[in-house]
Chain A
């Protein structure tokens, strides 16, 4: 079973639209960590955010915001007023404090059309 599910394989939006990337995770641990990474066309993986399981506060960083809901095991990522530079593949990831693995989702490819 997938530990991290990103059901949206590809999304296209027009510039300035808002877009939400979904991430659903699965774990039995009470202590775990969630991450989002961005992989632009150039190929590198860029860290965006880390969240631990005890901190359900939503976070905003500029045009980026994250909604963490333990009740639905979701950690969704919203880009407000999207820009062409936001075009990339976005990965959600999970790591359990007791485990030895770092689970990546399959990624969502976002295309922002000018």
Chain B
């Protein structure tokens, strides 16, 4: 079975540039999550979707960050303009259920983002 697929695996870009991270969830999973992992702050939930609709974006750090899910098999996380402090590993995860009857989240391999 295909797991959660993220691209690119690594991204190095200069500050001020637009960065787009991509995610394909596991087929049939209704929930999609975006996380950021840094040494200082650990794993932070940025935003999650249910049936392609953003439910909670309270973890999005600022307006430079935006996420979309145009269909059930694709999501993007965009940073514009990027800053060096955005350097982190960004994970996408998907799940069959969240909240009531919470099911495990299955994670992609992550995108290691470096902003110079």
A47 touches B104 (CB 8 A): yes
Q: Helix, strand, loop or mixed for chain B's interface?
A: strand
**Contact indicator B45/A101 (Cβ below 8 Å):** yes
> Chain B residues with Cβ under 8 A from A99's Cβ?
99
Complex CA gap A3/B100 in Å reads 19
B12 lies within 8 A of chain A by Cβ? no
Which B residues are in CB contact (< 8 Å) with A44?
Answer: 107-110
* Given A98-B99, A99-B99: A91 touches B43 (CB 8 Å cut-off): yes
| Distance of A37 Cα from B42 Cα, bound (Å) | 14
Structural contact, A45 and B42, CB atoms closer than 8 A: no
Query: Is A35 an interface position by the 8 A CB rule?
Result: yes
A12 to B67: give the CA distance in the assembly, Å.
39
| A106 pairs with B98, CB closer than 8 A | no
B-side interface residues, number (CB < 8 Å) = 24
Bound CA span A95–B48, Å = 14
In the complex, are the beta carbons of B102 and A43 less than 8 A apart? Answer: no
Contact A43 B43 (CB under 8 A): no
Min CB distance B4 to A, Å, is: 10
Contact yes or no, A104 B42, CB < 8 A: yes
Residue contacts A-B, CB under 8 angstroms, 26 given: A33-B102, A35-B104, A43-B89, A43-B109, A45-B91, A45-B93, A45-B110, A46-B107, A47-B105, A47-B106, A50-B103, A50-B104, A52-B102, A91-B43, A95-B99, A95-B102, A97-B99, A97-B100, A97-B101, A99-B99, A100-B48, A101-B56, A102-B33, A102-B45, A102-B105, A105-B42
Residues of chain B at the chain A interface (Cβ within 8 Å) = 33, 42-43, 45, 48, 55-56, 89, 91, 93, 98-110, 112
Known: A45-B91, A104-B42, A107-B42. 16 other contacts (CB 8 A): A35-B105, A43-B109, A43-B110, A43-B112, A45-B107, A46-B107, A47-B105, A47-B106, A47-B107, A50-B102, A50-B104, A91-B43, A99-B99, A101-B56, A102-B45, A106-B42
